[in-house]
């Protein structure tokens, strides 16, 4: 789906966001002001990644400068700074200690687990360093070995009123889970936290995030009914949002009935959407009626999530139902096309004639479509019939719009990724592999950044062994030499990755390109307002320059130059994000500069937050996203630099 938009920065209107005054002399207070030339200099050093210059401020008498230097290294993430950051864990100022702990956690090095644990102030009964202690608990979850998880889960000294520490503890266990480290004690601690209504909403929210996202986290749950009942009575919106998935993971009849009843009561489409998204945890025959209700939901987002349920879980016996909904003009076209894709995917293989006829129908619809994003969606549906690979190459590679060209290679990549590839193509599997290899080489030789990215990634599908069908790897080097830099940095990275893979050696990204010069500009002490004007209405945003000064300065500069005018919101992921700012319109383009990553200690713990898209650290440019729902797995990985102020219905 695409939505064109125009963005303009209007004015700075609100109070400063990053002043954290502490008791004591002025030098012990953290007060970030863009009017301070030293603050601007530290931001410049961060943008230029001048490590020695940042480390100089670790010994400065002003706490603000020590704090900013440590936070800069949380974004920079240089291992050489680790020992110096350990020194700041004993700083007299809570905010500085907190920044040092956060920066060490960002390094992800297990050798820092012991210094972090030693820096935890167990005698801080007055709570003077509680923010630092909480940051240490979270940082341990990011970098410590598995044995530390038991230590965190075994902490019993916190009262429910110790909100900051309990949240840090919950975040630590959650970070362990994101790294694939979990144990029954940690999971039980999260269950107990969710069930304890004495805990602060922020703490229970993190625990609910854990239970909803971490695989197998509820396999040995003692009494699933308790969790289900908590879901039905939960008042905090985002805790209830996360508990929908957690309750569904129990797979019980009580959970299904609770979700069905709640679906009828929910006013927020994001929460209804999460109920629909949780349906694959139940038997298809049980979930199907509720999914059909979702298709008829007034929210296009919920309808699309319901269509994706049928794409994932549908059955061949329902092919007539799936095809009928694919023709239903009352559905938004993304949901209709997803239902067509579901029908193609689940069409019984024994009904060869009917399957072939349906495939031809989808081809016809693709040829008739005018909107490039609709054509791209048809290609994804057509690719569900693997034998369409020649049609996809013929009709997609030369398409006038980048989104269609990129989608055509993505469709071929999905065919090559089929787990049943060998049995599907039978005796012809090797020949089809050779043809696809040729198509991917052709796509890489096209010079089109989107096609290159998809094709390069396809050549790394281990099951296909595409390297056996390539006479030479010179085409990869030639494609790299033809790219425009830094606009096509992502394509270059994909090519380098594929070259390393085919040569059997580890892939190491190139050093980041030179950063865009940083110009703080005026009004950097206050949030800025920005307005997205779309044909569906206006979306008002708030930008946070004190947390991400280089990002806000660059986005503001682009907006005032008219860069965003007429661009599209090219990526619409229901109950996740809306993304825009790509000059190509397919997600593989950028401006003529790159930005250094800025990763402040902020949390994606609610919907409507503004982040920057990237192809890895220090590769950000013009593309941004707005979240629909909490996305805490992005904390410390994707820069958060603002929030939605109004226009949620439009979003």
H, E, C per residue of 156-194: CCCCCCCHHHHHHHHHHHHHHHHCCCCCHHHHHHHHHHH
Same domain flag for 497 and 594: no
Looking up tokens 């996740």 gives 576
Tens of pLDDT, residue by residue over 278-315, are 999 999 999 999 999 999 999 999 999 999 999 999 99
What's residue 510's pLDDT? 83
d(CA 511, CA 487): 16
Last residue within a domain, chosen from 502, 534, 559: 502
User: How many Cα atoms occupy the beta-carbon half-sphere of 458 within 13 Å?
Assistant: 30
- Residue 451 pLDDT > 50: yes
CB-count exposure of residue 400 (10 Å: 0-12, 13-18, 19+): exposed
Is 302 in contact with 272 (CB distance < 8 Å)? yes
pLDDT on residue 480: 96
Judgement on whether residues 478 and 371 belong to the same structural domain of the protein:
yes
Indicate the residue among 480, 502, 524 that finishes a domain.
502
Q: Do 448 and 531 share a domain, yes or no?
A: no
Whether residues 380 and 494 fall in one domain: yes
Same domain, 387 and 529: no
pLDDT confidence of residue 212: 95
In sign, the C-alpha dihedral spanning 288, 387, 414, 375 is negative
Mean pLDDT, residues 163-175 taken together? 97
> What span, in angstroms and rounded, lies between the C-alpha atoms of 36 and 529?
23
For 121, other C-beta atoms within 10 Å of its C-beta total 16
Percent of the chain, pLDDT > 70?
94
Domain hosting 392: range is: 349-502
Average pLDDT over residues 482-500: 95
What average pLDDT score do residues 429-440 get?
Answer: 98
Q: Which residues pair with 609 in a beta bridge?
A: 643
pLDDT at residue 18 tops 60: no
Mean pLDDT in residue range 217-237:
86
**Is pLDDT at 19 greater than 80 in this prediction?**
no
Indicate whether 631 pLDDT > 70: yes
* CA dist 325 → 85, 290, 296, 365 (Å): 58, 15, 10, 15
Residue 483 lies in a domain: yes
Domain total in the chain: 2
Reported as a pLDDT band with limits 50, 70 and 90, residue 3 is low
Provide, rounded to the nearest whole percent, the portion of the chain with pLDDT above 90: 88
- pLDDT at residue 218, rounded to an integer: 75
Boundary of a domain, candidates 502, 527, 547: 502
Residue 42 has pLDDT above 50, yes or no: yes
426, part of any domain: yes
> Which whole-number Å values give the CA distances from 243 to 176, 204, 262, 489, in the listed order?
20, 10, 12, 39
Same structural domain for residues 463 and 356?
Answer: yes
Residue 80 resides in a domain = no
CA-nearest of 178, 208, 172, 177 to 190 is: 208
- Do the Cβ atoms of 455 and 491 come closer than 8 Å? no
Average pLDDT on 508-535 reads 84
Q: Which residue has the tokens 């992921």?
A: 573
Q: How far is CA 481 from CA 208, 490, 495, 514, 618, in A?
A: 48, 14, 11, 18, 21
In a domain, 309, yes or no: no
CA distances from 299 to 293, 327, 407 (A): 11, 19, 26
Per-residue confidence (pLDDT) for residue 2, from 0 to 100: 60
Q: How confident is the model at residue 170 (pLDDT cuts 50, 70, 90)?
A: very high
> d(Cα 328, Cα 116) in Å, to the nearest integer?
58
pLDDT for residue 445:
98
Mean pLDDT of 335-353: 96
Average predicted confidence (pLDDT) for the chain: 93
Task: Provide the pLDDT for residue 220.
Answer: 63
- Looking at residue 126, its pLDDT comes to 87
Residues 555 and 627 in one domain: yes
Based on the fold, state whether residues 486 and 612 are members of the same structural domain: no
- Based on the domain organization, do 384 and 494 belong to the same domain? yes
Q: Are residues 427 and 469 in the same domain?
A: yes
Position 522 scores a pLDDT of 66
Q: Is residue 170 situated within a structural domain?
A: no
Structure tokens at 606: 């609610």
Token reading at 322: 């799936």
Q: Which whole number is the average pLDDT over 91-99?
A: 97
Per residue in 562-612, pLDDT (tens digit) is: 999 999 999 999 999 999 999 999 999 999 999 999 999 999 999 999 999
Residue range 355-374, pLDDT digits in tens:
999 999 999 999 999 999 99
In a domain, 466, yes or no: yes
pLDDT of residue 221: 66
Beta strands 19-20 and 577-580, pairing class: unpaired
Which of 124-128, 236-240, 519-523, 646-650 is the least confident region?
Answer: 519-523
Average pLDDT (351-357) is 95
Judged by DSSP in three states, 21 sits in: coil
- Kindly state the average pLDDT of the residues 5-24: 38
The pLDDT tens digits of the residues spanning 363-411 come to: 999 999 999 999 999 999 999 999 999 999 999 999 999 999 999 999 9
| Model confidence at 11: pLDDT above 80 | no
The distance in angstroms from the start CA to the end CA of the chain is 13
Does residue 455 share a domain with residue 424?
yes
Q: Is residue 343 part of a domain?
A: no
Give the Å distances, CA to CA, from 485 to 49, 296, 376, 482, 594.
Answer: 20, 46, 27, 9, 10
- DSSP secondary-structure letter at 527? -
* Per-residue confidence band for 135, with pLDDT thresholds at 50, 70 and 90: very high
* Residue 582: inside a domain: yes
Q: Is the peptide bond before 486 cis (omega within 30 degrees of 0)?
A: yes
Do 632 and 581 have their domain in common? yes
Nearest-10 Cα torsion for 22, 26, 32, 33: 140
Instruction: Using alpha carbons, select from 77, 74, 71, 75 the residue that is nearest to residue 57.
Output: 71
Identify the CATH number of the domain in which residue 572 sits: 2.40.100.10
């Amino acid at each position: 789906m695409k939505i064109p938009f125009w963005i303009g920065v209007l004015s700075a209107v609100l109070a400063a966001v990053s002043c954290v005054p502490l008791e004591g002399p002025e030098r012990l207070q953290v007060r970030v002001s863009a009017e301070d030339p030293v603050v601007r200099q530290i931001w410049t050093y961060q943008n230029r990644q001048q490590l020695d210059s940042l480390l100089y401020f670790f010994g400065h008498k002003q706490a603000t400068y020590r704090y900013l230097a440590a936070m800069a290294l949380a974004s920079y993430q240089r291992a050489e700074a680790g020992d110096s950051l350990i020194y700041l864990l004993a700083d007299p100022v809570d905010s500085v200690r907190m920044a040092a702990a956060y920066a060490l956690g960002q390094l992800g090095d297990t050798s820092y687990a012991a210094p972090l644990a030693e820096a935890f102030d167990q005698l801080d009964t007055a709570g003077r360093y509680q923010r630092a202690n909480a940051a240490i608990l979270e940082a341990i979850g990011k970098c410590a070995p598995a044995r530390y998880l038991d230590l965190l889960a075994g902490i019993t000294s916190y009262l429910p009123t110790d909100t900051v520490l309990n949240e840090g503890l919950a975040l630590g266990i959650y970070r362990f889970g994101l790294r694939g480290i979990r144990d029954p004690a940690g999971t039980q601690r999260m269950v107990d936290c969710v069930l304890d209504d004495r805990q602060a909403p922020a703490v229970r929210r993190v625990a609910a995030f854990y239970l909803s996202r971490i695989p197998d986290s509820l396999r040995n749950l003692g009494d699933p009914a308790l969790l289900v009942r908590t879901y039905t009575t939960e008042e905090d919106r985002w805790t209830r949002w996360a508990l929908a998935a957690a309750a569904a993971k129990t797979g019980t009849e009580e959970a299904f009935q609770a979700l069905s009843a709640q679906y009828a009561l929910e006013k927020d489409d994001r929460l209804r959407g999460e109920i629909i998204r949780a349906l694959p945890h139940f038997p298809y025959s049980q979930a199907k009626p509720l999914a059909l209700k979702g298709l008829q939901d007034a929210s296009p987002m919920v309808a699309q999530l319901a269509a994706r349920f049928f794409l994932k879980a549908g059955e061949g016996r329902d092919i007539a139902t799936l095809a009928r909904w694919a023709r239903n003009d009352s559905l938004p076209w993304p949901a209709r096309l997803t239902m067509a894709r579901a029908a193609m995917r689940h069409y019984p293989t024994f009904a060869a004639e009917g399957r072939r006829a349906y495939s031809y129908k989808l081809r016809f619809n693709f040829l008739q479509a005018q909107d490039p994003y609709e054509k791209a969606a048809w290609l994804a549906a057509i690719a569900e019939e693997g034998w369409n690979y020649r049609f996809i190459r013929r009709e997609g590679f030369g398409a006038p719009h980048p989104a269609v060209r990129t989608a055509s290679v993505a469709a071929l990549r999905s065919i090559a990724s089929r787990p049943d590839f060998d049995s599907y193509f039978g005796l012809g599997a090797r020949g089809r592999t050779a043809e696809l290899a040729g198509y991917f080489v052709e796509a890489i030789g096209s010079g089109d950044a989107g096609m290159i990215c998809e094709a390069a990634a396809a050549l790394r599908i281990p099951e296909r062994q595409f390297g056996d069908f390539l006479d030479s790897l010179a085409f990869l080097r030639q494609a790299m030499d033809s790219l425009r830099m830094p606009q096509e940095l992502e394509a270059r990275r994909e090519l380098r990755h594929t070259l390393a893979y085919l040569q059997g050696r580890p892939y190491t990204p190139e050093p980041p390109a030179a950063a865009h010069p940083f110009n703080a500009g005026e009004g950097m002490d206050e949030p800025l307002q920005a307005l997205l004007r779309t044909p569906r209405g206006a979306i008002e945003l708030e930008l946070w320059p004190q947390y991400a000064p280089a990002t806000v300065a660059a986005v503001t500069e682009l907006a005032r130059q008219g860069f965003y005018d007429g661009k599209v919101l090219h990526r619409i992921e229901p109950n996740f994000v809306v993304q825009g700012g790509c000059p190509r319109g397919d997600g593989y383009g950028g401006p003529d500069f790159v930005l250094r990553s800025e990763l402040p200690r902020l949390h994606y713990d609610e919907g409507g937050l503004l982040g920057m898209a990237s192809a890895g650290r220090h590769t950000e440019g013009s593309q941004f996203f707005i979240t629909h729902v909490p996305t805490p797995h992005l904390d410390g990985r994707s820069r958060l630099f603002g929030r939605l102020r109004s226009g949620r219905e439009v979003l």
